[in-house]
Structure 1
Amino acid sequence: MKMTLMHKEKNNPSSSFNELKSLLTYFLANSEKELGRTEIMKYVYSFEYYFYQMYGKQLTDLKFNRYRYGPNESVVLDAVSGLQEEGIIQVSKDENYYGRLSYRHKFVMQPRAGSYDLPEQAEFVASFILDRLGNESYEGVINFAYSTPPMAEILKEEELVGSKILGRVLDMSKTGPVFKSTRIQKEEARRRLKAQQRERGSDEEYYGHLLNQYINFEDTRGRAIIAESNLSE
């Protein structure tokens, strides 16, 4: 059963950081598996992207940039460390196949009531991300993050220039076609986008439809999961 964090307004300079810690707590408390550092980063990035598409702003002040392994923001690691120090999560590390350290994160203690409240809208999107990525493999989580328009645009540009564009800040407002190398290609992409928008409405309506579908079929999915669990016992 998913842990629900009720909404409570915060009006202090550290609000964004607290919202991030609330989001991390929600992901780790409700995940059916321990999450690695890269997975956590991609969960938060994917959440912020979809939250922006739904509500026209991010939940936090995070600015993700193009790192060697995709979207990255060092503040996420600071928040993880904070939760570890408070005893809310446990972080373990092992040496992986390539001789590098691999980190695993596990929820171990319920935070003090009211300490890390997650707004209702944020919980809605976080639940969507957890449901979408919860059963994905490591590669699946990476691919999901890489498929978002902000990353897809950079990947296309990197393909054209022949090198990674490290440090580029990702534009969370991107919803249209990825980077095109010629004016004609750009114009064609705009025409395609307009045609798509006429068919499906605005991008915000489109993402709203996806998330509404998620709600509409939540009970059906739950019954199917229970039935499958009973069959496997």
Structure 2
Amino acid sequence: MEKLRNLIVFFIRHFPRFVTRTELVKLIYLFEYQQVQIRGRQYSEVSFVRDKYGPFSPSILEEAEFLCSTGVISCTRHDIDSDCILYEYVISDSSRAAQYDLPEWEKRTALALVDATSRLSLKQIKELAYSTPPMDEILAEEAELGYTVLPRRINMEKGKTPKKFTRGELAAAKCRLDASPDRGSDEEYFAALLETYREFEDLRRRATECLLQN
């Protein structure tokens, strides 16, 4: 589970605020969903099921607990009320955390995801996860059946056909995302990130609409 540990530490390190347990699970789900849609495969070996809280993986919590036990990260529990307990993760040892890194492609797409979600609330991030095609399919089937079957494996390959991009769109994506000088100019990379932003902007819009209706 080394790759999963890399993801856990990366998101905790780079998110501009603390990361809750729920957010961490949903961020890794969204990241792996994007990896499958863009590259045709996941980065890590983590698998997800649909439970009563949406996309979930016990492996993420297990590996986060391991990282806590080794002092790389720490987890603080907050009892909000009798029905709500919040767990938040922070980095405990920066030098050791730096050893858990991602390959260049995965690092770039993970940073794009951080940028796309860092200003969202916990509820909006959950709505993003619920709005992905794999969850859409499950929710539609549950609505047709009239009941929910839990847990249920999530098919990460459900999604959209990759789009073709114009040279202008690729240039715009490069200007928007080129925050570091060593990112290069790989056309496939910028096309993938452009698609990432398009999809997450659409999902954010849908999440906001859902919140306004509540």
Q: Could you say whether these structures have the same fold, taking a TM-score greater than 0.5 normalized by the shorter chain as the test?
A: yes
Aligned counterpart for 1:35 among listed residues 19, 23, 26: 19
Q: How many angstroms apart in 1 are the aligned matches of 2:155 and 2:102?
A: 24
Shift of 1:85: 1.4
Match of 2:158 among 152, 168, 174: 174
- The 1:216–1:89 alpha-carbon spacing in structure 2 relative to 1, beyond 3 Å, is same
2:154 partner SS: coil
Larger radius of gyration: 1
Residue 152 of structure 2: SS of its match in structure 1? coil
Tell me the number of residue pairs that the alignment of Structure 1 and Structure 2 aligns. Answer: 177
Q: TM-score, normalised by structure 2?
A: 0.75
Give yes or no for the alignment of 1:109 onto 2:69. no
Unmatched tracts of structure 2, length 5 or more: 180-214
Contact 2:112 2:177 in 1 (8 A): no
CA distance in 2, matches of 1:27, 1:212: 27
- Is 1:132 the counterpart of 2:96 in the alignment? no
2:104 maps to 1:120 = yes
How far did 1:161 drift?
Answer: 1.4
| 1:10-66 per-position Cα deviation (integer Å, ceiling 9, x unaligned) | xxxxxxx11111111111111111111111100000000001111110011111011
Indicate the SS of the match to 1:32.
Answer: coil
Aligned-residue CA RMSD (Å)? 2.4
Instruction: Note closer, same or farther for the CA distance 1:212–1:81 as it changes in structure 2 (3 Å cut).
Output: farther
Q: What is the CA distance between 1:112 and its match in structure 2?
A: 3.3
The answer to whether the Cα contact below 8 Å between 2:10 and 2:100 also exists between their aligned partners in 1 is no
Q: TM-score normalized by structure 1?
A: 0.69
Alignment match of 1:158 (pick from 142, 150, 166): 142
Cα deviations by residue, 1:166-221 (Å, 9 ceiling, x for unpaired): 12111111115xxxxxxxxxxxxxxxxxxxxxxxxx42657xx999854431359x
- The one-letter amino acid paired with 2:9 is T
The equivalent position to 2:66 in structure 1, one of 47, 62, 82, is 82
Name the amino acid aligned to 2:25.
M
